[in-house]
A and B are shown apart, each in its own frame.
Chain A
Amino acid sequence: MLKLILFRFLQGVMVLLIISFLIFALLTRAGGDAVSMLDNTRSSNETIESIRRIYGLDRPLMERYQNWLAETARGDLGHSLVLQAPVWSLIRLPLLRTGMLATVTLLIAWSVSLMLGIAAARRPGSLVDRLCSVVILLASSTPGLALALLALALIYSTPLMSVVGPATNADAGVLSFRVIPPAIILSVPLLAIFLAQTRVAIREALDEEFVRVARARGAPEWMVLLRHALRPAAGPLITIFGISLGSVMSGSVVVETVMGWPGLGQLTVSAVNTRDIPLLLGVTLVAAAAVMTGNLAADILQRLNNPRLRNT
């Protein structure tokens, strides 16, 4: 287990290094930094050059990268050029909000897919089972962007607006009912994957001999389901959870922007639009790190759930 954590940590650090260097290298080739977004007609070339010098943007690539790396290693992600604040202070709250969004999303997707999946797996070919197939197809083919736009329009035309409507950076805490609509939208594509997996995994588990034995012993049905069928079925479900974290993060960019949940996704978009490179680097790395941490958590869970994997 310790080996796994260590290996994953090193791997994660390597990936973050590659990503950050890639973005840094691309920057020097194109003049796309925040300074070039200034009004070039009103400020003279000397002014622009002096601004570049102040922020160290005139230094060679490797030197800048080394400086940035040294500061990041000390936990200082730098200073936003546009918003004039430390990057970390800008990221902290949105990170929590996106974490909240992801948690609620996963909870919704899990609970719905477990309920439907168990009901479908117990009676293959029944109405619920066929309904599940339809839900899987529809949920997997509904684009989150279109769904979010529709949901937003619906919210706007109902009195729910003041309770669950879009939040702004100022009025949104981390705990807020406003997280529910974006979480529902974000959980739809996940639901398709989770439900398909749950249904198959539980159906297979119910065919196992230990389930028959448990039933033969006279264990009540809920106990058979929760203790004997769910545990072996949880393996593939945890794997799917780990894999889907990246897509949750990608999906949250769109859904947060449309539905107004000021999390990491919204921050990324605004950093892109203002070419705020230090902020963008910070956001990208934090997002990637968060997803990789989630992956590691999934792997650890996997080993806790399935003792046979623990020594691998």
Chain B
Amino acid sequence: MINQEAKIREAFTQTRTELPETGNPQSAIRNPQSNDPQSAIRNWLRGRGALLTGAGLVMFFCLIAVFADLLAPYDYSSLSRREPLAPPTTIHFRDAEGRWHARPFVYARQLLDPATQRYEEITDRAYPLELFARGYSYEFLWLFPTDLHLFGTRAEAGVEAPRVYLLGADIFGRDRFSRLLMATRYSLFIGPLGALLASALGVLIGGVAGYVGGWTDAVLMRAADVIKALPTLVLILAVRATFPPGLSPADAIKLLLILFLMLGWADMARLARGLTRELRQREYVMAAVSLGCSPARVIVRHILPGAAMSLAAQTLILLPDFLLAETALSFLGAGLQEPEASWGKLLADLDGKIFKRGHPLAEFSPALVLMLFVFGARLLGNGLGNEGREREKYEWSEVETETKEGRKKEA
């Protein structure tokens, strides 16, 4: 008998293992150890490494998307018959005679054997690389017409300079690097836009469902369940097939966005509904209702601000799904048409033989870029979600302590 009691006690103490103290970033700001601004910043940064890495990556990709024209040395759709499937250009500092040069240069190349795509450098003449070289014309930031590009080679008196292919050329002799940059611009336009539109619709539907409740709630949430359970990509493909194959890029984008809007709101609606139902119980919302605010005003002015952080985080968490859906569609040939570039279209050029051709990294670069961006977006989304939860927790604990203190004073 005693033995058994001891066993029970032992089991109790065993299972009561404390969870490890997870770093609470919020407490660091609220209770700074010193008033030194530097240590305050350091405190703020602590535990936010993932968030900042994610934000940095996403920012980096946004900059690339904005300045894609400037960074790209060549027009993404211009063909070069002379160099199909050319490997990446080697950038030299040392010429054939063994002399070193301060300015990097490239050699022209010629195709040795069209069957195996072997190229050889012609070392007679060096073409120096230059910064801010002239190339195709475009509008910098969609405002200023210019033809300056970050780098390139200069054509001199009658001799056409060889193109610099940082990542090689595709089967039509188009510069893979330039195509990758423009694809980043396109993919980063349509993915986030789709996520934003679908999230807005989701917040609207979820907010109404959570606020009104009853039958409306039941019907809307059943619809959300059904949509969440459907094989979305199959449906998008099926609808896309009912349109003619050669849609213009603008029409293809519109169609894709409409489909995203129709099939993508369910996740967001679930979250928005939950948050609305929770926030409805709070004193300030009930106060607004009892003051006679219209439901629309209560939702927009009183409930949405409280839920904003979580909703924004959820949008970011959902963003990769939309981006990947677009990528998959373009990959399967149901998105953009040639010669437009998107990450999915670039991936469609890959096959199983990238290791055999000897430039796996250059060929695989679109996939790596895609992975990196999705990784960054996930880090940022998760980080923002944690921030939102911490803030909510803090606000609640503050309210609780305040009321407790108030009660104490009253007593």
Tell whether, in the assembled complex, residue B352 and residue A155 are in contact, meaning their CB atoms are under 8 Å apart: yes
Contacts A145-B324, A257-B332 given: A250-B244 contact, CB under 8 Å?
A: no
In the complex, number of A-B residue pairs with CB atoms less than 8 Å apart: 177
Q: Say whether B310 faces chain A, with CB atoms less than 8 Å apart.
A: no
B269 vs chain A, min Cβ distance (A): 14
Tell whether, in the assembled complex, residue A291 and residue B328 are in contact, meaning their CB atoms are under 8 Å apart: no
Tell whether, in the assembled complex, residue B15 and residue A253 are in contact, meaning their CB atoms are under 8 Å apart: no
B48 vs chain A, min Cβ distance (A): 15
| Beta-carbon nearest neighbor of B222 in chain A | A11
Total number of B residues with any Cβ neighbor in A under 8 Å: 59
Tell whether, in the assembled complex, residue A254 and residue B241 are in contact, meaning their CB atoms are under 8 Å apart: no
A212 vs chain B, min Cβ distance (A): 5
- List residues of chain A with CB under 8 Å of any chain B CB: 11, 15, 19, 22-23, 26-27, 29-32, 36, 124-125, 137-138, 140-146, 149-150, 152-157, 166, 206-207, 211-213, 215-216, 218, 242-243, 245-247, 249-251, 253-254, 257, 265, 268-269, 271-273, 275, 277, 280-281, 283-284, 287-288, 291-292, 295
Tell whether, in the assembled complex, residue B231 and residue A250 are in contact, meaning their CB atoms are under 8 Å apart: yes
A270 vs chain B, min Cβ distance (A): 10
Task: Choose one: B15, B232, B241, B352; the contact of A153 (CB below 8 Å).
Answer: B352
Tell whether, in the assembled complex, residue A141 and residue B332 are in contact, meaning their CB atoms are under 8 Å apart: no
| Beta-carbon nearest neighbor of A290 in chain B | B231
Tell whether, in the assembled complex, residue A153 and residue B353 are in contact, meaning their CB atoms are under 8 Å apart: yes
- Contact residues, B70-110 vs A (CB, 8 A): none
Q: Say whether B116 faces chain A, with CB atoms less than 8 Å apart.
A: no
- List residues of chain B with CB under 8 Å of any chain A CB: 4, 7-8, 10-12, 14-15, 17, 19-20, 222, 226, 228-235, 237-245, 320, 324, 327-328, 331-334, 344, 347, 350-356, 360, 364, 367-368, 370-371, 374-375, 377-379, 382
Task: Choose one: A15, A125, A287; the contact of B226 (CB below 8 Å).
Answer: A15
Complex Cα–Cα for A73 and B240 (A): 26
Complex Cα–Cα for A31 and B241 (A): 11
Top 7 A-B pairs ranked by shortest CB distance? A250-B233, A249-B231, A156-B352, A125-B20, A146-B367, A216-B11, A26-B242
B93 vs chain A, min Cβ distance (A): 32
Select the residue from A15, A141, A150, A275 with max chain B CB neighbours within 10 A: A141
Binding site secondary structure of chain A = helix
| Beta-carbon nearest neighbor of B232 in chain A | A250
Tell whether, in the assembled complex, residue A146 and residue B347 are in contact, meaning their CB atoms are under 8 Å apart: yes
Tell whether, in the assembled complex, residue B331 and residue A254 are in contact, meaning their CB atoms are under 8 Å apart: yes
24 contacts between A and B (CB under 8 A): A27-B242, A30-B242, A31-B244, A138-B375, A141-B371, A141-B379, A143-B371, A144-B324, A145-B331, A153-B352, A153-B360, A157-B355, A166-B352, A212-B15, A216-B4, A247-B231, A249-B231, A253-B231, A257-B332, A272-B237, A277-B242, A280-B238, A284-B234, A292-B229
Task: Choose one: A32, A150, A295; the contact of B364 (CB below 8 Å).
Answer: A150
**Which residues of chain B are near A19, meaning CB under 8 Å?**
235
